[in-house]
Chains A and B, each alone.
Chain A
């Protein structure tokens, strides 16, 4: 049995028979009272967000999920298609189910697809992904006050803040836990 000390972004539990993944959590302590973990979870079947407050130390039912390595093929409408490279079986997962992990999917790359009771419900992104910059202002022009970062859009549509010296076409290492810039990838 897991408990609230196991909670981190990406941790999966079963609530009322449904698989949920933690997308956000916060330690709260009301005055001089008992501690809680105020959480946001995504239902991995419907994609709906649930807000729930757990008592510190409360037991949690860890979701019994299985990760299968599959190839991401392409987007189809509001869904994404993946293929098992062993048996060529294809599965489809909706963007709602994937949440922010859609920003870490690159055509024809391998990812871990999460199965719950035999059903594909999401993707476990690697901790770091490398994505190319498709849009950003040239760095050194104009406003150079105290701002050392500027907005940029990456090839998957992810919008982030990057240092001024980053240019279009450069590849960036992104931390999928925070969705933030780590560093440039050279070569």
Chain B
């Protein structure tokens, strides 16, 4: 016999039983008085031969809202299992840090407010009232550390992209970004497959995400081969109309990727290089890659562009497009460009959408279900 205190919300009260949820578990008591559904309660109970017997109770708060109803906090955190997801997410954050710490990476807290958040024409930054912006990724800032001598660094924090909202998008989300100096794209691709396999095994005991076997090594597929295989055309023909290239990518290619094993899409056309270095053996392609699990893109990485002149030219080109299309006009990131002039080591870097990986690992419907309070609920 041992006394126990149970505190939580009443999720059932009838002549036969009283049901109390303590946030993560349900407790059932027989021969308890009928009480108000949804109220918060403290119960003193006694355990006899494995079952809990009600002794006394105290009501701690009365509710005005039916428990588990749509729009209620209990409906979301308990009814949809979001609280369980958040406990798992916290464990995955710890395991991710342990993975990098064990390899002598330094965790960096990236700055969030910057004059230039990047100039990618497809990313819309959030402005703050002094004319600066919230980062869309910590890329420029972390690369300055590589110039300064850092060899292995990672950042695990929030980034912001305006008007991206959906099953796989939140305007504020968590990005894991890391760099290996004196290394290349292949180095961070190996990190990616090792990390995801480790997280799956830690969380579930096997290397499966749904029906996908995520054990390393993952498949590598060049973008030009993917266009031939899934879109039935050459990537260079598709590129004659940039919108057509993106539409084929979204409609014909991405949904097919990573169904049985994850796939790295590699060697993007140089027009889609962003901040990636050209392929030294064929300059029509760039050392950019993305990884897909069950049709969901989880990361975007590069063998990094280190040439200061080429970087400045790409940024000036992107700024001109931004001006033409009426998009936000951050200034050129001069401290970043000056750092490249100082000499940046050849490096591999990757940016991974942490919420998406958590969503896939937990089999959740959307990234909103693995985030404490998604944008639409604030």
Contact = CB atoms under 8 A, between A and B. Distances in A.
Interface of A: 26-36, 38, 53, 55, 139-140, 144-149, 163-165, 175, 180-184
Nearest to A186: B66
A4 to B, nearest CB: 12
Interface stretch (B8-16, B41-49, B90-98, B146-154): B8-16
Contact of B120 (A32, A163, A182): A32
B7 interface: no
Query: Is the interface on chain B under 10, 10 to 19, 20 to 34, or 35 or more residues?
Result: 35 or more
B26 A163 contact: no
B66 A164 contact: no
B249 to A, nearest CB: 4
A176 B166 CA distance: 20
Contacts of B120: 32
A28 B168 contact: yes
A34 B246 contact: yes
Interface in B6-53: 11-14, 16-17, 19, 21, 24-28, 37
Contact of A164 (B19, B166, B274): B19
A161 to B, nearest CB: 8
Contacts of B27: 144
Contact of B249 (A26, A30, A139, A183): A30
Nearest to A149: B79
A27 B70 contact: no
B293 to A, nearest CB: 15
B349 to A, nearest CB: 14
Contacts of A147: 26
A36 B84 contact: no
A144 B70 contact: no
B247 A28 contact: no
A5 B73 CA distance: 29
5 contacts: A28-B254, A29-B250, A30-B249, A32-B122, A34-B122
Interface string B217-246: 000000000000000000000000011011
Contacts of A163: 11, 67-68, 79
Interface string B262-289: 0000000000101000000000000000
Given A34-B246, A140-B14, A148-B11, A29 B169 contact: yes
Contacts of B169: 27, 29
A57 to B, nearest CB: 11
Say what secondary structure dominates the interface of chain B: mixed
Query: Which of A29, A32, A147, A165 lies at the interface centre, i.e. has the most chain B CB atoms within 10 A of its CB?
Result: A32
Nearest to B297: A31
B250 A36 contact: yes
A148 B78 contact: yes
Contacts of B67: 163
A28 B14 CA distance: 47
Q: Which 10 A-B pairs have the closest CB atoms?
A: A27-B166, A183-B69, A140-B17, A30-B249, A33-B246, A182-B70, A163-B68, A165-B12, A34-B246, A30-B250
A28 to B, nearest CB: 5
Contact of A30 (B66, B78, B84, B297): B297
Contacts of A182: 69-71
Contact of A27 (B71, B164, B274): B164
A30 B249 CA distance: 7
A36 B67 CA distance: 37
B320 interface: no
B26 A146 contact: yes
A29 B13 CA distance: 47
Contacts of B245: 33
A175 B70 contact: yes
B290 A31 contact: yes
Interface in B277-319: 290, 297, 300
Contacts of A32: 120, 122-123, 272, 274, 300
A139 B167 contact: no
Contacts of A149: 68, 79
Contacts of A29: 122, 164, 169, 250
Contacts of A140: 12, 14, 16-17, 19, 28
B251 interface: yes
Contacts of A30: 246, 249-250, 254, 297
Interface in B106-163: 120, 122-123
A33 B249 contact: yes
Contacts of A35: 122, 164
Contacts of B212: none
